[in-house]
Structure 1
């Protein structure tokens, strides 16, 4: 949660509550009883839902499929009410120049934290990203070549391992300041404003032009990108595709700054770079139909460099798609918010994994993305009292939990040490191993919030020790 709180600070939840109450008062004549805790629970439930992936939202409260963590955090009606009334700005003060004004405060706080991460001179990739949404939206786009063709187009700048450092959602003409080189180059130059000088940039043929590479070189950035043949100068006499065989390489260098390399693999590809050229030429194995075996094929250094550093945005898309919040809604601000929430969690996990690698923490002790995301959702659902009914001050623990040989994991630290709503409860049946470090005794006492067995007797109080740092 330490990483995630940098994207969504406490002030954000207070702002959402304020504008949500303002909206309900204006439209329904009654002020909503929404609290900061309700908003956190709503976020947490959506995060857990994205990880579990039930086909229908109502199933999380239905008999036979009920999920205790979600169902005890918010009632079904409360969940749907919050989804309908949640607002991030005053709807009576629209900004006609900004099509995304309804969600702009959330965009700003997430982008602000992302920009703070661009502190190291390294490789950054720039590419398009789709925010899936098929409803009505003033900024909706259709890109048929994408796996999710309908939605909002988001231009993203990310590191080679998928850490997003900047993004801008496309709103049509005028979204990016015109640099005089065209739309694609304008996007690239706009997204470099937060990057340290000397960084290496990678992008695809949608953005690449020779003047763009020269401009980036002037302002202190090296760059590489695939390029269309019709964007090359006419005096570049590169061989035709039909005249090249697999492994053939052709290079042209302009003013000792920009190298244009054409290489033939299964198909021909042309790439322009101010970082390197074809040398040193490497080798890559390819299947040969005639020889019925893999044979080495020459490959330029610039192609190897591009393939190694260009996949940052694709990695981000892939990881987000695993556990994306996919709840259907007609409200595009809610859909964009869920995307930004997923983006913030993925960035938090990438930061956590980098720090773990730097501290040389064993891989077995590093949380994977699913575990990390579920813990964030669990902490947000359990950060306050779970059940609203006064007679049910403890969460119900499934009976099969005690009858199995499964040893439960420790509760996340943000829940374990929050010093709130931890109640002991004595159970029937076989005593379970105490989860306090250094204790090997068995106990029938459990913590109803952490769902772990702990010793609680006159001579041994592991319950207090377990919940104290």
Structure 2
């Protein structure tokens, strides 16, 4: 048994020796990920390239026994905020690919934790703000004006393109230019549809008393809402590049919308020390080139969005939309040797470097080169990792552990941990040491010992889950085949959630729930346009469910006993005047005393003659 162990150790040493002697040209190395094929889209800064292999990351430079890095003559690499905090150097890509790490026993070495220098909270003065004022921090009149301009432009282009080809009764022929007030009403009604859930949009204008919602038809007609949804647009189609152009942007349809909210999300609020990155999936079941299938998500099929959130509140600080494997991401200041997944992390959190944030990620993003680079930029990280990840110590992976036991190795600032629970869990951290804590076992009375890095990971890796938990019960309905409209509805909903986080931070004494907050925002948006609309109960609901009594028509300046045309008789094609009307009905219709008054208040289709 001992000879077999020595044989294994000798073989492992030979593998390490051959790896360190292998020399590869920088141009010859590339990501081995199956999804990294194709040309780079230089315009798509928001789209990222997906990958499924766990071996795309390359190893960092080797460390000598004394723990010092070899010096290089290359110039310092600049970050997105002016450079590395600790003098990080540009190391040739081949150097990282060929070297291995020197993993040693951790010996309870305490990691160097830079102080947190951020100022979390809202940057704006919010004294005396109403809920809609918090929402306006992200969505102002200028944003609505740009949306109105693009919607009117697209409607004109659509009608000009289909001139003579539309059906006579097509809703598009009823189009008239929209305005900022009407666009706010459209979005207010869309948010209310998430609170008042119905199977189809048409049911919000249903006249059936058992299904009616009087507020919607009182504010905007069904046809107007649907034609606004049909013409809703965010960019000029005439400025789009051809699809066969190498610089074609797959997110062109929604690019201005994304750029606006990316600036506002990061410009209004500063997250706390603990942040996390995870994927969110926007439900979409239509045909789309970059549609994703994620069985662990509730939607399973849809558009994948990478989101950086504050762990404690779920505030979405930055987000990037996955646009297919042929779209690459190359954020400013990112090292060339980082893989696609690591560049996603770099792109999302580059504006938070050198502030002492603690970042938590899952195994999709975790890599030793990334964690070392983040550490040199004053940002510590912790996350799960694949056991076959390049650079992760094999001696730790091969070590057999009893349930509840853990083992760890350290390579300078990076700690590798293996913990045996129901299955083996592998962690990588620059925040923690190998210490453990006693916690209660889930579903059992006894207590167990767990590494602190796992406990903190479970505690802070919940930012996106908090956001999804708030949004899911009130997600607006959008029955559209256009993917970018569904994505726009989702991002607008996320903006409402962010506004609620800012509201709770600025006014912690307020006890308004997210449902109440969103309802207040939607009502305020609708109220801009609703003044010209007839407010009151829906006519059908009022006349069939309330007790009404007829009266004489009120006198006018010209007549003391005026006559008016009967509504029921007019609907039946007859002309008959009457002195009576119903003052309790919203429209105050004139009705013959017999039998029209009874028909109008007892039959839904009062004009039908039996």
TM-score between the two structures when normalised by the length of structure 2 = 0.60
Unaligned runs of 5+ in 2: 1-131, 161-172, 242-246, 547-585, 587-610
Q: 2:521 aligns with which of 360, 376, 390?
A: 376
**SS of match in other structure, 2:409:** strand
Task: Tell me the residue number matched to 1:170.
Answer: 322
Tell whether 2:206 aligns with 1:53: no
Task: Tell me the residue number matched to 2:536.
Answer: 395
Q: 2:187 aligns with which of 31, 39, 43?
A: 43
Q: Residues 407-456 of structure 1, C-alpha deviation per residue, up to 9 Å, x if partnerless?
A: xxxxxxxxxxxxxxxxxxxxxxxxxxxxxxxxxxxxxxxxx9xxxxxxxx
Contact 1:121 1:196 in 2 (8 A): no
**SS of match in other structure, 1:92:** helix
Distance (whole Å) between structure 2 residues aligned to residue 164 and residue 287 of structure 1:
30
Superposition deviation, residue 314 in structure 1: 1.5
Distance (whole Å) between structure 2 residues aligned to residue 75 and residue 117 of structure 1:
35
Distance (whole Å) between structure 1 residues aligned to residue 271 and residue 294 of structure 2:
33
Q: 2:234 aligns with which of 73, 88, 96?
A: 88
Q: 2:496 aligns with which of 301, 324, 345?
A: 345
Contact 1:70 1:381 in 2 (8 A): no
State the aligned residue count.
385
Contact 2:279 2:306 in 1 (8 A): yes
Distance (whole Å) between structure 1 residues aligned to residue 419 and residue 235 of structure 2:
52
Distance (whole Å) between structure 2 residues aligned to residue 396 and residue 286 of structure 1:
56
User: 1:210-221 maps to which residues of 2 (within 5 A)?
Assistant: 210-221=368-379
Distance (whole Å) between structure 2 residues aligned to residue 199 and residue 105 of structure 1:
29
**1 or 2 for the larger relative contact order (CA 8 Å, sep ≥6)?**
2
Moved over 6 A (4+): 397-400
Superposition deviation, residue 138 in structure 1: 4.0
Q: Residues 158-215 of structure 1, C-alpha deviation per residue, up to 9 Å, x if partnerless?
A: 1012001111111234431174221211111111122142111110001111111111
Q: 2:223 aligns with which of 77, 99, 106?
A: 77
Q: 1:286 aligns with which of 441, 451, 456?
A: 441
Contact 1:20 1:32 in 2 (8 A): no
Contact 1:25 1:32 in 2 (8 A): no
Query: Higher mean Cα deviation, 202-211 or 186-195?
Result: 186-195
Distance (whole Å) between structure 1 residues aligned to residue 353 and residue 197 of structure 2:
39
Q: 2:263 aligns with which of 90, 112, 123?
A: 112
Distance (whole Å) between structure 1 residues aligned to residue 291 and residue 156 of structure 2:
30
Distance (whole Å) between structure 2 residues aligned to residue 395 and residue 321 of structure 1:
31
Contact 2:278 2:306 in 1 (8 A): yes
Tell whether 2:278 aligns with 1:127: yes
Superposition deviation, residue 310 in structure 1: 0.9
Contact 1:115 1:166 in 2 (8 A): yes
Distance (whole Å) between structure 1 residues aligned to residue 337 and residue 301 of structure 2:
29
Distance (whole Å) between structure 2 residues aligned to residue 230 and residue 108 of structure 1:
37
Q: 2:416 aligns with which of 260, 284, 305?
A: 260
Task: Tell me the residue number matched to 2:481.
Answer: 330
Distance (whole Å) between structure 2 residues aligned to residue 330 and residue 386 of structure 1:
32
TM-score between the two structures when normalised by the length of structure 1 = 0.77
Q: 2:212 aligns with which of 66, 74, 88?
A: 66
Q: Residues 219-241 of structure 1, C-alpha deviation per residue, up to 9 Å, x if partnerless?
A: 22100010000015365412648
**SS of match in other structure, 1:192:** helix
Task: Tell me the residue number matched to 1:185.
Answer: 342
Q: Residues 31-88 of structure 1, C-alpha deviation per residue, up to 9 Å, x if partnerless?
A: 7331222211110111000111111211111122222222211101111111101111
Contact 2:135 2:496 in 1 (8 A): yes
Task: Tell me the residue number matched to 1:452.
Answer: none
**SS of match in other structure, 1:395:** coil
Tell whether 2:432 aligns with 1:276: yes
Tell whether 2:110 aligns with 1:17: no
Unaligned runs of 5+ in 1: 404-447, 449-469
